[in-house]
Amino acid sequence: TPVTVWILGDQLLRAHPAIEAVEAQAGRRNMRIVLVESDARIAQMPYQRKKIVLILSAMRHYAASLRERGYLVDEVRAPSFVAGLQRHIAQHRSQRLVTMAAAEYETRRFQQDYLSQALGISVEVLPNTQFLTGRRNPFPDVEPSQRVIMERFYRAMRRHFDVLLEPDGSPTGGAWNFDRLNRRPLPRSVAPPPPLTFEPDAITRRVIAEVEARSGGVGTATGFALAVTHAQAEAALADFVAHRLAAFGPYEDAMSAAHDVLFHSMLSPYLNIGLLEPLQIVRTVEEAYRAGAAPIQSVEGFARQIIGWREYIYWQYWRLMPGLRDANAWNATRPLPRFFWSGDTDMRCLRHVIERAIATGYTHHIERLMIVCNFCLLAGIRPSEVNDWFLAHYVDAYDWVMQPNVIGMGLNADGGLTATKPYIASAAYIRKMSDYCDGCRYDPKRRIGPDACPFNTLYWNFLIRHEATLRANPRMGPAVLGLARFDASEREAVTRQAEMVLGEN
Ligand code: FAD
Ligand code: SF4
């Protein structure tokens, strides 16, 4: 009797552990690989249409490539995962299903606790291999309440996987971190080379038409130009290494109205669905460094994103779930302003970032953190609503990466387990790191009055409201000290103006 291998849409690995295991046990002829396109999953939220195109097209290309390699593949479209799997199992008379553990909490629970009963056959869930922490958990025994900072985690991963280390074990370039050389704004004279785009083929064009015909969703499927195969994703990686990696470090925090990707890699959409893998990317950039193609502050900074931040976020997710979604350490209770769904606001920075997220499904890290989350934290927006906005808009959004980044890092709602201080900033930071303030109707130097930048008003209002809590955090001390210059009437003016700003939105 045949064995079924169920592959999820974000697990399109070249070497898939479930395929390898079943092929070794039962042989290729006794194996049926199934990919289910579940309507319920696709419509669970009004997702970014380009993300739906990416996943469905990549799944169909993956199925085709497996068939070319001689596997028997069943592609099922069904109202739900269970309905699709039931149909497949009835047709092929499978007695057993093997699958790889989902990266997302709910789906993994579904695989482990529900699937076997729903299908009436035995289900085996193999460990997830898409993250390096699956192979090496550097801190397996820490309590959920105990904080492990990213830097410690990163160094442990770097040592274990031997990334950018000298033969004596010291870090390449003489330091673990070169941030002091980075964090530069983008000079007007620098024009970042745009990332590679990919002309949709017949499969992708068909998916685009199907997604356009669906109701709900954010943005449009038209204009989709992402990679949908391993070969294309590898071409995107090579393009990044050749044209943007060298300047990645210096400009990783820069923001621009004219450029969205700048010197970032734009690889997260591919990495998150298995078209690329973390160690493959890290070895490639290490090679570029050894070949003299990029300086250490860029290569180290980039490797830290992949084996540091990304792995750390996934590790945090699995140790903090399922409680993370309800975390709300700053007691934020306001609803998300409606302009988040249209970009219709006079705040030029937010307008650009929201419009970009709607149109492309991508904005880089600092815009997510220091524009969107910064505003939401200062304005006291409910964390779960911010989380859902991100999940709906971005092409690289998945529950495992969203919750720790939005609720933990961006909104500091997890009590400081992910970030040791809230990432809050006034317009001074945005003005320094971007060109957004030029031409904005607000004045980035004012905090009170009709032209005052809302980021300033809300920043000082946040410090006033949470003064006692912030004072207790040693990393926030200097910020709160600024309040000493405020007399009672100035505090009151800020509070009053903040109420007005929040009322308007
Ligand atoms: P680059 O700047 O080129 O970085 C390289 C890679 O490092 C990324 O592709 C990504 O895989 C990894 N990386 C870097 N930082 C993180 C991080 N904090 N968490 C996870 N991976 C990281 N990333 C997602 O993949 N999906 C999301 O839905 C997502 N939502 C985010 C929401 C917020 C509020 C914040 C602050 C960050 C979020 N991130 C998310 C992390 C990060 O912003 C994106 O991974 C990155 O912007 C993707 O663009 P890039 O590939 O050009 O990244
Ligand atoms: Fe954003 Fe304020 Fe600058 Fe306008 S002035 S772009 S609202 S930071």
Q: How confident is the model at residue 145 (pLDDT cuts 50, 70, 90)?
A: confident
Our answer on whether the CB atom of 444 is closer than 6 Å to any ligand 2 atom is yes
CA-430 nearest atom, ligand 2? 8
Give the neighbor-by-neighbor strand order of the sheet with 73-78: 73-78, 31-38, 3-6, 96-100, 122-126
CA-347 nearest atom, ligand 2? 7
Our answer on whether the CB atom of 19 is closer than 6 Å to any ligand 2 atom is no
Per residue in 159-192, pLDDT tens? 999 999 999 999 999 999 999 989 999 999 999 9
Alpha carbon distances (Å) from 208 to 74, 203, 213, 222, 325: 21, 9, 9, 7, 32
Per residue in 76-88, pLDDT tens? 999 999 999 999 9
The residue whose CA has the least distance to atom 6 of ligand 2 is 437
Ligand 2 centroid to Cα of residue 449, in Å, is 14
CATH level 2 (architecture), domain 3-127:
3-Layer(aba) Sandwich (3.40)
Per residue in 291-307, pLDDT tens? 999 999 999 999 999 99
Q: Please name which of 411, 505, 487, 501 lies closest in space to residue 457, comparing C-alpha atoms.
A: 501
Report how far residue 431's alpha carbon sits from residue 369's, in angstroms, rounded to the nearest whole number: 15
Domain with CATH 3.40.50.620 in the chain: 3-127
Q: What was the pLDDT predicted at 349?
A: 98
One-letter amino acid of 438: D
Our answer on whether the CB atom of 282 is closer than 6 Å to any ligand 1 atom is no
The residue whose CA has the least distance to atom 7 of ligand 2 is 347
Ligand 1 centroid to Cα of residue 272, in Å, is 10
Determine what percent of the chain is predicted with pLDDT higher than 90.
Answer: 94
The residue whose CA has the least distance to atom 11 of ligand 1 is 268
Element at 112 (helix H, strand E) = none
Average pLDDT in the chain? 96
Q: How confident is the model at residue 358 (pLDDT cuts 50, 70, 90)?
A: very high
The residue whose CA has the least distance to atom 2 of ligand 2 is 453
For 105, other C-beta atoms within 10 Å of its C-beta total 17
> Which ligand is closest in space to the CA of residue 441?
2
Per the structure block, which two tokens stand in for 149? 């900072």
Domain with CATH 1.25.40.80 in the chain: 134-195+244-320
CA-350 nearest atom, ligand 2? 1
Our answer on whether the CB atom of 374 is closer than 6 Å to any ligand 1 atom is no
Ligand 1 centroid to Cα of residue 402, in Å, is 9
Our answer on whether the CB atom of 455 is closer than 6 Å to any ligand 2 atom is yes
CA-453 nearest atom, ligand 2? 2
Our answer on whether the CB atom of 436 is closer than 6 Å to any ligand 2 atom is yes
Q: Which string of DSSP letters, residue by residue, matches 432-449?
A: HH-S-STT-SSBTT-SSS
Ligand 1 centroid to Cα of residue 457, in Å, is 29
Domain with CATH 1.10.579.10 in the chain: 338-504
Q: What was the pLDDT predicted at 175?
A: 97
User: H helices then E strands: how many in the chain?
Assistant: 24, 5
CATH number of 338-504: 1.10.579.10
pLDDT at 9 over 80: yes
ipTM exceeds 0.95, yes or no: yes
Q: What was the pLDDT predicted at 504?
A: 73
The residue whose CA has the least distance to atom 8 of ligand 2 is 427
Our answer on whether the CB atom of 266 is closer than 6 Å to any ligand 1 atom is yes
CATH of 134-195+244-320 among 1.10.3720.10, 3.20.10.10, 1.25.40.80, 2.30.40.10: 1.25.40.80
Q: Please name which of 278, 359, 269, 277 lies closest in space to residue 54, comparing C-alpha atoms.
A: 269
